[in-house]
Structure 1
């Protein structure tokens, strides 16, 4: 048998691996797409439906509304000559939109998101939450939170559905002022 060069062995191995991968992917895809059947010609079982007592509908801020709020907060900061980042998170603390203004510092991106996460988690402005640290300093140890002024929750039907967080101005009070300007643009 003729000995293959290292280059030929690598190429042959890569082609073989690709063929095995494609065959495996095809088999898995075909299996996943095949409807389950309980017998010859029997229809597949219908998905289970939860009853009304087992479910709850929740309000969520749309992406368009989150963008509107972020732009309003950024515009308020620009009018004041401040370079900030604005983050809007949903009711679960997940970032919906983040706008980093021209000249905003690199730390402002994460700070804005963490402030917004903190505000929606406790349904309170972060300026109020920062004051609570005096009675419960261990709060600051909760992951992904930031107890500095600069974020406000957005509520609907008495509960938080989002939060606007701002970071980068010289003071948290200014950050929170810009966050309030963003939240004020939303219909509640």
Structure 2
């Protein structure tokens, strides 16, 4: 089996970092909307002193798709053929995109 060149590893790593950065930005943007229901602030105030609740944000499909597309575009600029998967904090796949010319093994 042929080892990947250092350039290939750097480009692939850069694409992954770009996807994660855009995914983080998307999660932050999604949580910064400030939209809450009327019951949520009241419930949060009640349990805030007891510290029985936690709040988490989730990456939207749109943000995950945008991050995956950005990673594929970055790889294409370096003439790399890759597949990109965006996962949530639990490792569950949200979006998977296979770039043009990427081999079937790159999906796995």
Q: 1:70 aligns with which of 41, 61, 68?
A: 68
Is structure 2 residue 98 aligned with structure 1 residue 100?
A: yes
More strand by share: 1
Aligned residue-pair number? 62
Q: Quote the Cα distance in structure 2 between the aligned partners of 1:91 and 1:74.
A: 21
Return the offset for 1:54: 2.4
Is structure 2 residue 74 aligned with structure 1 residue 81?
A: no
Return the offset for 1:83: 0.7
Give secondary structure in 2 for the equivalent of 1:54.
Answer: coil
For the pair shown, the structure with the greater C-alpha radius of gyration is 1
The aligned runs of 1:109-148 (5 Å cut-off) are 109-110=107-108
The aligned runs of 1:1-188 (5 Å cut-off) are 52=47, 53-110=51-108
Give secondary structure in 2 for the equivalent of 1:70.
Answer: helix
Relative to the length of structure 1, the TM-score reads: 0.30
Q: Output the aligned Cα RMSD.
A: 2.0
Return the offset for 1:99: 0.5
Alignment gaps of 5+ in structure 2: 1-42
**Deviation per CA, 1:104-125, whole angstroms, max 9, x where unpaired?**
1112112xxxxxxxxxxxxxxx
Give secondary structure in 2 for the equivalent of 1:97.
Answer: strand
Hey, which bits of structure 1, 4+ residues long, moved more than 3 A? none
Q: Residue in 2 aligned with 1:134?
A: none
Q: Quote the Cα distance in structure 1 between the aligned partners of 2:59 and 2:73.
A: 20
Q: Quote the Cα distance in structure 1 between the aligned partners of 2:90 and 2:52.
A: 20
Return the offset for 1:78: 1.1
Structure with the bigger RCO (C-alpha within 8 Å, sep 6+) is: 2
Q: Quote the Cα distance in structure 1 between the aligned partners of 2:70 and 2:100.
A: 15
